[in-house]
Structures are given as C-alpha cells and as structure tokens.
Chains A and B, each alone.
Chain A
Amino acid sequence: MWRRIVLNVLIGVLRGILYYIVFWVLISWLISSVFGVPFEQPLHLAVLVLGVFTGLGVVSSCVKSFIGIIFSVLSSLLALGLVVGILGGVVSTRLEYSGVIVEANLDFTPLLVLIVGFTVVYTIMECFERIVELEE
C-alpha cells in the first residue's frame, strides 16, 4: 500500500519535473539560443511553475484514473498557457551597429503553432491511454 503511494508520488513528481523542463527550460533555451535573444524569467515564477507542475503531476498519478485525467489535462493547459502567453510568438531585440540602432523583431508563430499542436495531440493520446487502462 505505502509502496504504491510512494511510487505514485514519485511518478507524479517526475512527470511534473518533465513538464517543467520541456515547457519552461527547454523551450526558453531553444528560443533564446536559436534566435540569439536573451530570455530571462524571474526565479520566483520558475519556482511557482515547477511547484504547480509537480503538484498537478502528483495529484494526477495519486487519485483514481478518471479524475487523474483532469489533472493531466490541466498540466497540459498550463504548459500551453506558458508557451503561448510568455513566449508570445515574437522575439525582439535592439542592437547598435555602426552608429545605427537596429530594432529586430522575429515572428516565430509557425513554430509555436507546431508545439501547441503536438502538445494537444500528446495530451489526447495520454487521456485515451488512461481511459483504456480504466476499462481494463
């Protein structure tokens, strides 16, 4: 019994950390390194996001499967909210070159749409998997 609870909590924590790494750390790193724009987020926000992802992950894996689906979907919605809301689809930077100030804006909406699309597909498949588990 206790072993199962600890295992579920561990799975939930790992799932939360995975979501945090993919949707907070990895995507921010990808955007800042590919587009060459510094992308800094406040530490308290990062801790809050990690906490919420971990919390949702733990609840999702500890409660019964049909309720857990709701928390999994909430994790994905939070991830989508972060991707769309914070990254926003446009990166901007200002630089000086030979006495001229250049303001550069790059719209990467196609990339963002792709990430959102795959996240939605992944979430739907996760839900189906849980429903199938529930029926078995």
Chain B
Amino acid sequence: MYAGFRYAVVVLSILTIFILLLPLLFFAWDIIQNPECIVLKFENASYINSEEIKADMVVSYCSSIPLRNVRIQVGSRSLEFDLISREATFKQEIILTERDLEEGIRVLEANIGGLYRLILKFEKA
C-alpha cells in the first residue's frame, strides 16, 4: 500500500516541479525569441534646475509571464513598479542628476511570475 503512495509522491513531485518551472521556461523562451523584450526609455525629459532633470521612465515588456516588484536603479536613484505585464507600457516619473544619466541603468530586479527573484547588475567593461 505504501509503495503505491511512494510512487504517487514521486509522480506528483515531478509534475509539481515541472509546473513550477513553467513560468521560468516561458520567460526564457520569450527572451530568447525577442532579446529586446524589456524596453526602458526616458521620455519628456526637462531640466528642473541646473543639475537635475525630470523625466518619465517608460517600460514596455513582451513576455506572457508578468514581472512583479520590479526595481530599476539609474545611477543613485531607483524606482519601483509593482507589476509589469505584457503589451502595456508603464510610466513613472523620476528625477535624475547628469551623473545619474551618465552612469545609466545599474541594477534591474524583478520577480519572474512572482516566484523567482532575478537581479541584473550592469557595469561598464
């Protein structure tokens, strides 16, 4: 009787692991198909004083797997989006210094499908 339960547990574990891996596999597939899946743009930039620039950061995303708790660090400033999903653009205002703009995007953090935390750190070679 217990042997049957054991095999059931093995089959259930393989199925559950496969289901849990699906968001990651779909995300990886979408990124491979379209390397420019996540597009970050600055729009409506304007100087608010001699050092600081106010701009809208616009994020568009192509994958069917939503990204949650997204944090983007530009220079020393960071901004957060609760959810970024497919075929929609997300806009948030950010105030940057010229130095921040020179440094560009340094960190991108997101939860893939709300499950797997991905952290990308960018450094100039």
B125 touches A110 (CB 8 A): no
B17 touches A111 (CB 8 A): yes
Name the residue on B nearest A119 (C-beta): B13
Q: How large is the interface on A (under 10, 10 to 19, 20 to 34, 35 or more residues)?
A: 20 to 34
- On chain B, the number of residues with a Cβ less than 8 Å from chain A's Cβ atoms is 27
B25 touches A108 (CB 8 A): no
Name the residue on B nearest A113 (C-beta): B20
Q: Give per-residue flags for A97-109: 1 if the beta carbon is below 8 A from chain B beta carbons, else 0.
A: 0011111111110
Identify whether the interface residues of B are mostly helix, strand, loop, or mixed: helix
Which of A38-46, A47-55, A77-85, A124-132 lies on the face that meets chain B?
Answer: A124-132
Given contacts A122-B10, A126-B6, A96 and B125 within 8 Å (CB-CB):
yes
A118 touches B9 (CB 8 A): yes
B contact residues around A36 at 8 Å (CB): 28
Residues of chain B in range 1-46 having any CB-CB distance to chain A below 8 Å: 1-3, 5-6, 9-10, 12-13, 16-17, 20-21, 24-25, 28
B121 touches A102 (CB 8 A): yes
A contact residues around B3 at 8 Å (CB): 129
- Count of A-B residue pairs with CB < 8 Å: 76
B117 touches A125 (CB 8 A): no
Name B124's contact: one of A100, A104, A105, A132 (CB within 8 Å): A100
B contact residues around A100 at 8 Å (CB): 122-125
B20 touches A103 (CB 8 A): no
Given contacts A34-B25, A111-B20, A118-B16, A101 and B123 within 8 Å (CB-CB):
yes
A101 touches B125 (CB 8 A): yes
B9 touches A122 (CB 8 A): yes
B120 touches A99 (CB 8 A): no
Q: In the complex, A111 Cα to B117 Cα: how many Å?
A: 12
In the assembled complex, B118 has its CB within 8 A of some CB on chain A: yes
Residues of chain A in range 16-48 having any CB-CB distance to chain B below 8 Å: 34-36
In the assembled complex, B79 has its CB within 8 A of some CB on chain A: no
Given contacts A34-B21, A100-B125, A110 and B120 within 8 Å (CB-CB):
no
Q: In the complex, A122 Cα to B115 Cα: how many Å?
A: 24
In the assembled complex, B116 has its CB within 8 A of some CB on chain A: yes
Which residues of A are in contact with B by a Cβ distance under 8 Å?
Answer: 34-36, 96, 99-108, 110-111, 114-115, 118, 121-122, 125-126, 128-129, 132
State the 5 A-B residue pairs at the shortest beta-carbon distance, nearest first. A129-B2, A118-B13, A107-B117, A103-B121, A105-B119
